[in-house]
Amino acid sequence: MTIRAALALAALLIGGAPALGQSIGRPVRPLLPIVKVENEPVMRGIDALILSFRIMGPAMPPPVDGEQPKPNFAFVAGEGYIVGGHPTEKSVAIFPEPLREVMMAQDAGAQTCVLRELKLDDGTTGVLTVSDLDPARLDLTYACFTGALWWHTYGNLGGFQGLDWREALGTIYKHISG
């Protein structure tokens, strides 16, 4: 199954998600990430991509009453993180209990990438993504991350070409930088 197909299937399992190619008409939001990648070089690469988005994208919201804004994006990647189409318990351990249940509840049929969009307490949405990191195919982890960033930016996967993740990142960065 391709990255695009796996992400599309995951997207169809999300309640209220827009159909592929449809815009949800929201402005690009700041990226408030939680990231855990078990491969250190890949973690540094993902951190650099996040930093680029945060530099070029919308300004970070200021703290409210001394509290930092809550995360709206989570990405975890590691070997054996998806088994039988489901994220493993190890892969979702970083998430609070209610989110763990959501991530593991539905069979996405994915082998390498599971993406979920959730409604957050403040009425906005957040993107949760689990990638099964294969040391022989690190490009699939970057493609999965890029799909999650695409969803965060556009609200759907319309136009996303998973295996051409570098071009997709360029499209995202061009979009957010105006």
What's the rounded Cα separation, in Å, for the pair 31 and 135? Answer: 27
pLDDT of residue 24: 46
- The b/e string for 143-160 (b: 16+ C-beta within 10 A; e otherwise) is bbbbbbbbbbbbbbbeeb
- Region 47-62 average pLDDT: 93
**Longest CA pairwise span in the chain (Å):** 46
Residues 129-172: tens digit of each pLDDT: 999 999 999 999 999 999 999 999 999 999 998 889 999 999 99
What are the DSSP calls for 7-26, one per residue? Answer: HHHHHHTSTTPPPTT-----
Query: What pTM does this model have?
Result: 0.82
Residues 76-115: tens digit of each pLDDT: 999 999 988 888 889 888 877 777 777 777 666 678 898 8
pLDDT of 61 over the 90 cut: no
